[in-house]
Amino acid sequence: MNWIRKNIIMIVGLLVLFYMFIPVFVVIALSFNEPKSRLTYTFDKFTFDNWLHPCSGAEAMCPAVMVSLKIGLISTIGATILGTLMAYALMRYRFRGKGVANLLLFLPMASPEVVLGSSLLTLFVSASFPLGFWTILIAHIMFCLSFVVVTVKARLAGMDPRLEQAAMDLYANEWQTFRRITLPLLAPGIASAALLSFSLSFDDFIVTNFNSGSTVTFPMFVWGSAQRGIPPQVNVIGSAVFLIALAIVVLGQIIGARKRKALAA
């Protein structure tokens, strides 16, 4: 009884975590499944085939993954560069329209994705812009931008402006100050903004679905095949994404801990 009272928070915490991770475990388990028919979600037979040959058996999937990776990478790079510069301008300079810019950046985060997707579609159609890879890319950069600006701004807010003033005082011009002082100190914020952008872009379905034309991304492929039974290779991609993300987080923790240890020494 006493033991339970002492550890109740830990127990409840573990239960909640377990509950949250059940879907992930199911995905990982099903990635080793060899189903008898396309329509079954039961675990029939264990196999490594899905991991060894993810592209065979589900021919349309790998091109879709490639499209998603490509869009994810390009929109991450675009949104991170633009967003970092915007955050810097919003924090370090005074200019006309600054308040409006802050508000407009917040809007994509606040408005429902369905609204965003459909209004973008209206925009592209009325401008007779052909739907496809480029419209998806533009849409992704647009909504990732807000998250990058918010993340980088938070990092900038915690940075003493006197560091930049000190650099200018020590003969660094504006560009050198940004390159040598601001950018290195912002790097952790920029990195987390980039990771966030990539995952937002990689798994976006609603906005993408409105603006994709005939281009198929990985989430759209999954949605499409879900009607007929999801091939186990989809679970391989899902598990791989999860494991990569986990590896990045663990790596980040290790590097952070090592840095702190070096500083404490």
Partner 1 sequence: MDQIGGDLRLVSLRKEFGDFVAVDNIDILIPKGSFFALLGPSGCGKTTTLRMVAGLELPTAGQILIGDHDIASLKPYNRPVNTVFQSYALFPHLDIYENVAFGLRRRGVKDVATQVEAMLSLVELDAFARRKPSQLSGGQQQRVALARALINRPEVLLLDEPLGALDLKLRRQMQLELKRIQTEVGITFVHVTHDQEEAMTMADTIAVMNQGKVEQLGSPMDLYENPKTTFVANFLGQSNLLTGEVMDRGDFVGVKVWGNHIKIPASRVATTNAKVWVGVRPEKIYISAESNHAHDHLGNQLIGTVLERSYIGVSTQFIVEIPGFLDDEKIMVFEQNVDASEVKAGDRVRISWDPSHTFALDAKQDAYAGDVLAEAE
90-129 footprint of partner 1 as x/- string (CB under 8 A):
----------------------------------------
Of 176 and 253, which CB lies nearer to partner 1 in the complex structure? 176
- Non-local (6+) Cβ contacts of 60 within 8 A are 216, 221
CB of 95 to partner 1, least distance (A): 16
Of 112 and 184, which CB lies nearer to partner 1 in the complex structure? 184
CB of 190 to partner 1, least distance (A): 14
CA distance 200 to 147: 9
Candidates 9, 100, 110, 263; binder of partner 1 (CB under 8 A) is: 263
Phi, psi angle pair for 46, to nearest 5°: -80, 135
From 23-31, 89-97, 155-163, 247-255, give the range in contact with partner 1 by CB under 8 A: 155-163
54-93 footprint of partner 1 as x/- string (CB under 8 A):
----------------------------------------
Of 53 and 258, which CB lies nearer to partner 1 in the complex structure? 258
Nearest to 197 by CA among 67, 83, 61, 66: 83
CB of 170 to partner 1, least distance (A): 4
CB of 79 to partner 1, least distance (A): 25
Residues 14-33 that bind partner 1 (CB under 8 A): none
CB of 168 to partner 1, least distance (A): 4
By CB under 8 A, the count of residues binding partner 1 is 19
Residue-by-residue DSSP string for the chain: -HHHHHHHHHHHHHHHHHHHHHHHHHHHHHTTB--SSTT--S---B-SHHHH-TTSS-TTHHHHHHHHHHHHHHHHHHHHHHHHHHHHHHHH---TTHHHHHHHHHHHHHS-HHHHHHHHHHHHHHTTPPPSHHHHHHHHHHHHHHHHHHHHHHHHHTS-HHHHHHHHHTT--HHHHIIIIIHHHHHHHHHHHHHHHHHHHHT--HHHHHH-TT---HHHHHHHHHTT---HHHHHHHHHHHHHHHHHHHHHHHHHHHHHHHHH-
CA distance 135 to 11: 48
Of 39 and 263, which CB lies nearer to partner 1 in the complex structure? 263
Residues 160-189 that bind partner 1 (CB under 8 A): 160, 162-163, 165-173, 176, 180-181, 184-185
CB of 161 to partner 1, least distance (A): 9
CB of 188 to partner 1, least distance (A): 10
Of 161 and 224, which CB lies nearer to partner 1 in the complex structure? 161
**Span between the terminal Cα atoms of the chain, in Å:** 43
CB of 89 to partner 1, least distance (A): 19
Binding site for partner 1 (CB under 8 A): 160, 162-163, 165-173, 176, 180-181, 184-185, 263, 265
